[in-house]
Structure 1
Amino acid sequence: MTLSSNSSASPRSLLIVTGEPSGDQHGARLLLALKEIEPNVQAFAVGGENLRKAGAGILVDIAELSVMGLVEVAQKIPVLLRAKNRILEAVRLHHIKTAVLIDFSGFNLRLAKSLKAMGVRIFYYVSPQVWASRKGRVKKIRELVDHMFVIFPFERDFYEAEGVPVTFVGHPLLDEARPQEDPETLKRRFFPGIAPSITKDGDLPFPRVIGLLPGSRASEIRYLYPRMLAAFDLLRTKYPGLRAVVPQTPHLNDSLFSPMESIYPWALDPDVFRRVPGRFREVTKACDLAIVTSGTATLETALLDVPMVVVYVMNAFSYQIARRLVTVPAIGMVNLVAGLSSDGRTAMPELIQEKASPERIFSEVCQIFSDPGRIKRMKESLARVQGSLGEPGASGKAAAEMARLLGWKKEDSLS
């Protein structure tokens, strides 16, 4: 799609803004669902390859915006301002009157203020986590957002109580295709020489493949991937036959990963270590356990029925600020959905900041591997999470409600 001026732009022109790969996936599915209702919709987006393939004209690629932590955001302010200016220019140029903002709240809530001043109708899909920190932001949302589309039932209750128009659509991850192959088949796909699983008396198989899931942002990987690799190096001393597999987000280059891996001789052995681009679900489902960066990946891992250790590290200054703002008892979304146990424990262990050392990760993984009862309880928690995310079809439900609110009908389509 070209981005040339079009003074007679279709009233079906739409802006979609996200800042992360997961939001790019959600936005693409939403756009395709909207096109089922209104084939003439013309979309412009801040997004990535998924939105591009869905037919959106990309104004800013998410690779330019990927950032975590307050200090890191401050360092990227010039980039974020240029992105905002380009978006607002496109809104004026193409007479866009509707925007769908997807997560990415630090940027999107600021953008929403400018869009509102331009008379743009604002839908928000995948809510900012205002229920977790800085609840005062809900006042801003009430002023700026015309309709909120949420993916967790408790979010609907929260916004209804705050007087924000809201629709619960279920989680869009339920619409993503999951591998049909069993974990054993997937293990052999990535490690053809791996020995068959041997169990007796209903025991769980000896751990053979662990997943290292360092995130989708370059900044996350720089903080967390070295710790995961070092933890796996320690695990190999206790479990010599253990393999590791890493799902690599496609927009991240090998050059980000390779220097961190180069210090470990086993990283050159494909029968021990594999980094696989673009096949997150297959890679993760092949694992007996995963070390996962906190974020959407924890829910994706839960839907694949893989127990996990949740880890997160950020700039020390950013962390000190964040810990004063966050009011929820866990940071991993999988744990927030699962809830705490009667003794106050999270369903999946969390290692945050200085606790996310290679030695602590190693110790936590060893404790899990040595306790089949604990693995069973973790699997039961994963089943509860899976059951609480609603029914499939989030994208279609959101698209149908957006079209209704906008008055779009197929019989009104422009020729």
Structure 2
Amino acid sequence: MKRILIIAGEASSDMHAANLIKEISALDKDISFFGLGGGNMQKAGVNLHNNIVRLAFIGPGGLFKHYLKLRKIYNNLCVYIEKNRPDCAILIDYAEFNLRIAKKLKALNVPIIYYISPQVWAWGLWRIKTIRRLVDKMLVFFRFEETLYKNHSVDVDFIGHPLLDTVKVDSDKEDIIVKFGINKDSKIVGILPGSREGEIKNILPIMLESAKLLVSKKPALKIDLLLPLAATADKNFVEYQVEKSGLHVKIIQNDTYDAIAVCDCAMVASGTATLETALLEVPMAIIYKANFLTYILTKNLIKLPYIGLVNIVAGRRLIPEFLQYEAMPDK
């Protein structure tokens, strides 16, 4: 039986990895998977050595926080693959970890497929040389990524974005309103603060204060607040923040697309959720605030005029972005 190592370090990557595993398994039953990821991958049949989605981070600040844990996980995996060489490796985003493990895999002559490119086009063009040296095949979701890699002589294929197949709702808005117990006459405002611990701590308070201002300034308007929560997020922490705000917010976990689709508008943390919200045709504002260390270390590395994927793909500002010091409730 062929054995594939697969690594995904974030909630959205874990979801994409699980779907990929299901498709591969349907084509060839004589393949087994092991690696690092999250609950979706485990449910899809991966022999999960560690759940690293729980350690998901953004930028150097997050890396420093979890460095010792990730270092131990990395060392243990290296020892394992030396003794149990995989037939192939599929690495998904998560550049800080995956490009390091790619060096080890290359030394062991393991073919490497990179599924979901790191966002080198935004802040890490210097990494393309490393990718060209280590990765046998890059599979990308966006045409502009294909062009970028081809221009740097990387073996790349454009495969389209899987969200086009997975982002859908099967119920009418009226049925979803009944399911969630929302007043049918309300205007529904979505709050999507991200899936990583650091993101939620930095962004959720801003979103809640913004919602409080909206409710206070529009007393004649019936507003219901809905918070679709990632399965990997700490619900207890989110509930604490909501309670502290004094707002009534309905938290929906594990029913994300219905929860987004029913909204009249939404505040969305930059990331995959912006694409999901756009595909569900919900108007939004993009909000993002990193911790101070990450902001200082990365602000000069980011070369694009936008950070929202919808704006990047469109090549123009379709969605308003409120970033770092512009991410203020009164904005």
Residues 59, 297 of structure 1: alpha-carbon distance in 2 compared, 3 angstrom cutoff = same
Alignment of 1:363-382 (within 5 A): none
Q: Give the C-alpha shift of residue 83 in structure 1.
A: 1.5
Distance in 1 between residues matched to 2:177 and 2:123, nearest whole Å? 39
- One-letter amino acid matched to 1:309: A
> Which of 190, 199, 204 is the aligned partner of 1:220?
199
| Matching residue of 2:58 | 68
| Matching residue of 1:101 | 91
- Post-superposition CA distance 1:354-395 (Å, at most 9, x none): 1111111xxxxxxxxxxxxxxxxxxxxxxxxxxxxxxxxxxx
Distance in 2 between residues matched to 1:157 and 1:223, nearest whole Å? 34
In terms of fraction of residues, the more strand-rich structure is 2
1:18 and 2:5 are equivalent in the alignment: no
> Which of 190, 199, 205 is the aligned partner of 1:211?
190
1:352 and 2:323 are equivalent in the alignment: yes
Whose RCO is larger (CA < 8 A, sep 6+)?
1
> Which of 147, 158, 161 is the aligned partner of 2:137?
147
What is the alpha-carbon root mean square deviation over aligned residues?
Answer: 1.5
Q: Give the C-alpha shift of residue 177 in structure 1.
A: 4.9
For structure 2, which runs of at least 5 residues remain unmatched after alignment? Answer: none
- One-letter amino acid matched to 1:114: K
Distance in 2 between residues matched to 1:75 and 1:99, nearest whole Å? 27
Instruction: Answer with 1 or 2: which has the greater Rg.
Output: 1
- One-letter amino acid matched to 2:318: A
**Contact 2:278/2:310 (CA < 8 Å) preserved in 1?**
yes
Residues 291, 192 of structure 1: alpha-carbon distance in 2 compared, 3 angstrom cutoff = closer
1:235 and 2:225 are equivalent in the alignment: no
Q: Give the C-alpha shift of residue 128 in structure 1.
A: 1.1
1:336 is paired with a residue of what secondary structure? Answer: helix
**Contact 1:27/1:102 (CA < 8 Å) preserved in 2?**
yes
Alignment of 1:241-390 (within 5 A): 241-267=222-248, 273-340=249-316, 346-360=317-331
1:325 is paired with a residue of what secondary structure? Answer: coil
Distance in 1 between residues matched to 2:108 and 2:295, nearest whole Å? 35
| TM-score calculated relative to the size of structure 1 | 0.76
For structure 1, which runs of at least 5 residues remain unmatched after alignment? Answer: 1-9, 196-206, 268-272, 341-345, 361-415
Distance in 2 between residues matched to 1:223 and 1:351, nearest whole Å? 13
> Which of 80, 102, 105 is the aligned partner of 1:112?
102
- Post-superposition CA distance 1:28-77 (Å, at most 9, x none): 11111111221010100211111111111001103442112312211211
**Contact 2:177/2:183 (CA < 8 Å) preserved in 1?**
no
- Residue correspondences, number: 329
**Contact 1:211/1:246 (CA < 8 Å) preserved in 2?**
yes
Greater mean alpha carbon deviation, residues 237-246 or residues 89-98: 89-98
